[in-house]
Structure 1
């Protein structure tokens, strides 16, 4: 992974994320990844509509935001559902939550929620795969579709058909 830290297409920042987003130019970012602490105390604002609107402002059309979104087992009906709703209220066109195993956390299961600006995050990898023939050994469109599949209790909580 160290090699990817030197990729000229990416910039890793360890800074005050709120200030950085506030100072960033409009529509200047392709992908915004927020791996914050839990949404309490100083990080609480990173999960609210006001901050998400500012993230939407700096994303380019076709841009994607990814936010860690807590445990599906403990927070589907509260934090995750509220984050999804706040992302849509902030102006994002689509949202998708991806649950995944994470054995170091208490529930053993965690999630990230994606939000797209002028792009459907439920299909953007399929669109990219159709446009680029990459020689991949592990990733496939089918594997990505599987990652987007929500268990019934999450589908019900998000009112996803």
Structure 2
């Protein structure tokens, strides 16, 4: 009986290590920067993001910032090299306002369009301070880092 118990302890430690490795690949901590998601998220808030989750309308996601000419206020802040966070790589946090099959209104053309498969229509909660789909259009799902799971 003592032998069986002693074998269980290393096995549970191994399971714990495997779970930690899986969690590190599926979960990531992101620091919120900017004012686009106020009042829900403030600069300096930290959120836990789940990778590999298909987002639904209303959920908050982290996506790669598109390479477009941005007004000065929307440019990402320089982040010290020793603090290589996800935000330092050009990510942004937004709310999903539409997924494939939903319709969205284009201000440029003044018409309604359907969101094609593999795309998202994203909005910031603070429209006056948000670079989002109203300005840059639809975001491909392959630019998605993950879905915000919870605030830390």
TM-score bracket, normalised by the shorter chain, equals under 0.3
Identify which of structures 1 and 2 has the higher relative contact order when contacts are C-alpha pairs closer than 8 Å and 6+ apart: 2
